[in-house]
Amino acid sequence: MGFPSLRFQLEMPRADSDRNDRQFPAVPIPLRVTGTPAGMRLSPLLFAFAALFAASAWSAQAQTEADEARDHFEAALADDCPQKQLQLLSARNLRDGLDSYVEGLPPDVHDLVQKAESDRCSNADAGAACVNMADIQAADQVGRIDDLALSICGSFLRCTDQGVCDYAR
């Protein structure tokens, strides 16, 4: 049984017009913004990716420099006083030794170390480990890592466990 053609022809336009009366009028949605070439919309996205890539490359380089400075410092400690096991110093103990070292620096190097601390550790969440690393990197950059290691060796007698170290004073 099929649709009667006359009845179907009369009912469908009326049903379609009833449905359209209850809806908002159809507005065509443009596929692209007129007046803006398609390539122009991609530029901000490419810029964002380029900025992200540059930031990650800078961060990786900064991490590499910090790792190298830390390696130089630990190697100098191992050369100058291996029996003391000062690689076990806690961040707080190392900070005490670094403070003594920084106080005895010439004014120009002292200012450089202070600037490195404020530049690298200006965040309120930065703790002793950040400031320690800034001092170690600054000493490494000016070629004073051996002096730093000797100063730390003189500040402590020995470490027996991680963070369990005896002061020389």
pLDDT tens track for 137-154: 999 999 999 999 999 999
**pLDDT one-digit tens code per residue, 18-66:** 555 555 556 665 555 555 555 555 566 556 656 666 655 555 555 677 8
Task: Characterize 129-168 residue by residue with b for buried, 16 or more Cβ atoms within 10 angstroms of its Cβ, and e for exposed.
Answer: ebbbbbbbbbbbeeebbebbbbbbbebbeebeeeeebeee
Please give the structure tokens belonging to residue 24. Answer: 């908002």
Domain range summary for the chain, segments of one domain joined by +: 70-167
Q: What is the DSSP letter of 162?
A: T
- Phi and psi at residue 2, in whole multiples of 5°? -105, 175
CB 140 within 8 Å of CB 70 = no
Using CA atoms, how far apart are residues 136 and 44, in angstroms rounded to an integer?
39
Partners of residue 161 on adjacent β-strands: 164
- In percent, how much of the chain has pLDDT > 90? 46
> Residues near 155 by Cβ (< 8 Å), separated by ≥ 6?
96, 97, 100, 101, 167, 168, 169
Please give the structure tokens belonging to residue 3. Answer: 């649709």
Using CA atoms, how far apart are residues 164 and 155, in angstroms rounded to an integer?
14
pLDDT at 122: 78
Partners of residue 167 on adjacent β-strands: 156
CB atoms within 10 A of CB 106: 8
